[in-house]
Structure 1
Amino acid sequence: MDVDLKKDGIERCARIFNTQKYNVHDGPGVRTLIFFKGCPLRCKWCSNPEGLRSDCQVMMKKNACINCGLCVGVCPKKIHYMENGVHKINRDITCIGCRKCEKACLQNAIEIVGEDKTISEIMDIVREDKDFYLMSGGGLTVGGGECSNQAESLKSLLEASHMDGINTAIETCGYMSQKSLDLIKDHVDLFLFDIKQMDPVKHKYWTGVNNERILRNLAYLLENGHKVRVRMPILKGVNDSKEEIMAVVDFLEDYKCFKNFDGIDLLPYHRYGVGKYGQLDMEYPMDKEMEGEFGLSGEELDRIQKWIDEENIEVNLVRH
């Protein structure tokens, strides 16, 4: 085992909340996608709300719960309780991830999100499909949440993948310190790097943070030879105007001829993760926005794609 997998004699762990095999949308070829928990952004349209916080959380399908109370008796933290015969969850108490409630639930209504796995355990999952990676030019993609939130563990996982001859990619919002970026940059074969909005005020409104650090990191990666594919979540009334699209194009103008710039993916808005908000007793932020419908028609998406294509930048519209 490589020494970098250990700290003080103990193997590093990463807190993950999902794995997805046979993925073909997040990097070249067939890939295994590992989701790290925790994110510094709070994008209003996030489709993985269970990946925002770094701690373990209880997800509950309320329509499956029969209010039997079995989870109440086994939870050591008293997160579960009954009120007038109805099962409730105290969201102010931090879940320790013991999964006793999940195991006790006869209806499979409870799921604990957040699991600590050693780098070796994650690599065991990744290696299962190594033949598919070799045949397709695929590999490992690490997303989240924001995987750079666990930079030391991310570095160890990427290094272990390279030791096995497995291609690596990460999905990142780009909001990380220079220290974290320096830790991982030489172990990433492809950065799938988000640009959500060029205007700093709008960026902060929609994501909770300013974009100065993000754009600085993007420029640094491009200028230092790291392979980058820009990804743009596209939402109607948020960042779909020609002015906003061209602001991204203008930022990338100096880099579009760089061999390490791999073009742009357009990611249309969808509502696939909305149901998970209810399972976490969270409100879906986009439902509180006055604009209403944020999805774009095929014609509107084609028009955005054409704007970018006319600027001689490779652009791909990702259609799930």
Structure 2
Amino acid sequence: MQEGMVYNIQRMSVQDGPGLRTTVFLKGCPLRCIWCSNPESQKFAPQMMYFENLCTGCGACANACPNGAVVLLENGKFGRDPEKCTDCGVCTEVCPHQARVMSGKIMTVGEVMEVVRKDELFYLNSDGGVTLGGGEPTAGGDFFLALLQQAHDEAYHCTVDTCGCCPEDRFSETIRLADLLLFDCKHMDPERHKALTGQGNALILKNMRNALSSDTKVRIRMPLMPGLNDTEENLAAMADFFGEFHRHEIEIMPCHFFGRNKYLALNLSMPPLRQYTPEELRAVEKRFGRYGLKPVIV
């Protein structure tokens, strides 16, 4: 049985495709988008996350840690020494307040499907189903394809939330098995795309073309970042690209700071981003319209 790294399974989701869904988040991503709101999704290995606001200073973690990585802070709480911490997870097993939790665990296709099947009646009554997200789910390789195949074989509506940074042969299988792709479009210029995400977009746009030329339903999504990808040049390039396929609706996801606590929990610096004011967002939406694009906030 294929197995892979999963960092969350969210039941009763309403944002990741039609109806009520179970969203399976696979850990690991080839991109490093500077606006990522789920930094724990990027690495392919388990990570310990420490939420200082939940720590009560009981000291159970310090007694359990085999590496001496737990340190007493000035406020009486227990933090960690990142140079000694190996993400072994022993401290998370004894923390009574979930101040220390592990992100990521190995699961088999069968174990994931056991969770998925629990809400089958809700899928049937809401036209919902299963969504595979990440990270980048296609980066899960054989495990991802086996999981998608199993969900497809059991006749669940299958959605894949993807950035499209995936080998062509694997993505062709993804297109074949999925009922819906939520496909991110981050930037049209290859150099700007690389600067913002760590990777170019040639492969991504090729996979996008193949998806839009297929019979699989595609919803185009765009993380919208002030001053980074909302320029006139980028919107015009998007209009030209998607106009070839007579596609004009773009689901936009304006910049937010929902992941701030996760950066703190991983001892990472928060990216230097800013949110739109309501006036700025309305102005950007009008710019979309000038190029024949219809933005829909999700």
Q: TM-score by structure 2 length?
A: 0.89
Q: Does the aligned pair in 1 maintain the 2:242–2:248 contact within 8 Å?
A: no
Deviations along 1:183-219, one digit per CA (max 9) or x if unpaired, are 4321111111111111222111111111111111111
Q: Does the aligned pair in 2 maintain the 1:47–1:273 contact within 8 Å?
A: yes
Deviations along 1:195-254, one digit per CA (max 9) or x if unpaired, are 111122211111111111111111122223332111001111111223321211111111
Specify the SS of the correspondent of 1:216. Answer: helix
- CA drift of 1:306 comes to 4.5
Cα 1:55–1:142 change in 2 (3 A) is: same
- Segment of structure 1 superposing worse, 304-313 or 269-278: 304-313
Alignment-derived partner of residue 297 in structure 1: 277
Specify the SS of the correspondent of 1:285. Answer: coil
Give the partner amino acid of 1:271.
F
Q: Does the aligned pair in 2 maintain the 1:245–1:304 contact within 8 Å?
A: no
Alignment-derived partner of residue 268 in structure 2: 282
2:30 and 2:103 mapped to 1: Cα distance?
A: 18
* Match of residue 8, structure 2, among 6, 18, 40: 18
1:148 and 1:112 mapped to 2: Cα distance?
A: 22
- CA drift of 1:308 comes to 4.2
Cα 1:90–1:304 change in 2 (3 A) is: closer
Alignment-derived partner of residue 81 in structure 2: 89
Alignment-derived partner of residue 273 in structure 1: 259
- Segment of structure 1 superposing worse, 244-253 or 271-280: 244-253
Give the partner amino acid of 1:278.
L
- Structure 2 gap segments, 5+ residues each: none
* Match of residue 47, structure 2, among 44, 53, 57: 57
- Segment of structure 1 superposing worse, 223-232 or 207-216: 223-232
The alignment status of 1:158 with 2:148, answered yes or no, reads yes
* Match of residue 24, structure 2, among 27, 34, 47: 34
- CA drift of 1:309 comes to 5.1
Q: Does the aligned pair in 1 maintain the 2:50–2:79 contact within 8 Å?
A: no
- Segment of structure 1 superposing worse, 113-122 or 220-229: 220-229
Seq. identity, %: 35
The CA RMSD measured in Å over matched residues stands at: 2.3
Q: Does the aligned pair in 1 maintain the 2:71–2:79 contact within 8 Å?
A: yes
**Which residues of 2 match residues 126-205 of structure 1 at below 5 A?**
126-205=116-195
**Which residues of 2 match residues 37-116 of structure 1 at below 5 A?**
37-76=27-66, 78=67, 80-82=69-71, 87-91=79-83, 94-96=86-88, 99-116=89-106
Q: Does the aligned pair in 2 maintain the 1:58–1:110 contact within 8 Å?
A: yes
Cα 1:157–1:262 change in 2 (3 A) is: farther
- CA drift of 1:93 comes to 5.2
Q: Does the aligned pair in 2 maintain the 1:58–1:112 contact within 8 Å?
A: yes
Count of paired positions: 295
Alignment-derived partner of residue 199 in structure 2: 209
- CA drift of 1:314 comes to 5.4
- CA drift of 1:108 comes to 2.5
- Structure 1 gap segments, 5+ residues each: 1-10, 288-292
Give the partner amino acid of 2:194.
K
Specify the SS of the correspondent of 1:71. Answer: helix
The alignment status of 1:317 with 2:297, answered yes or no, reads yes
2:85 and 2:110 mapped to 1: Cα distance?
A: 31
- Segment of structure 1 superposing worse, 100-109 or 138-147: 100-109
2:68 and 2:183 mapped to 1: Cα distance?
A: 37
Cα 1:115–1:64 change in 2 (3 A) is: same
2:248 and 2:156 mapped to 1: Cα distance?
A: 20
Cα 1:84–1:193 change in 2 (3 A) is: closer
Q: Does the aligned pair in 2 maintain the 1:148–1:180 contact within 8 Å?
A: yes
- CA drift of 1:278 comes to 0.6
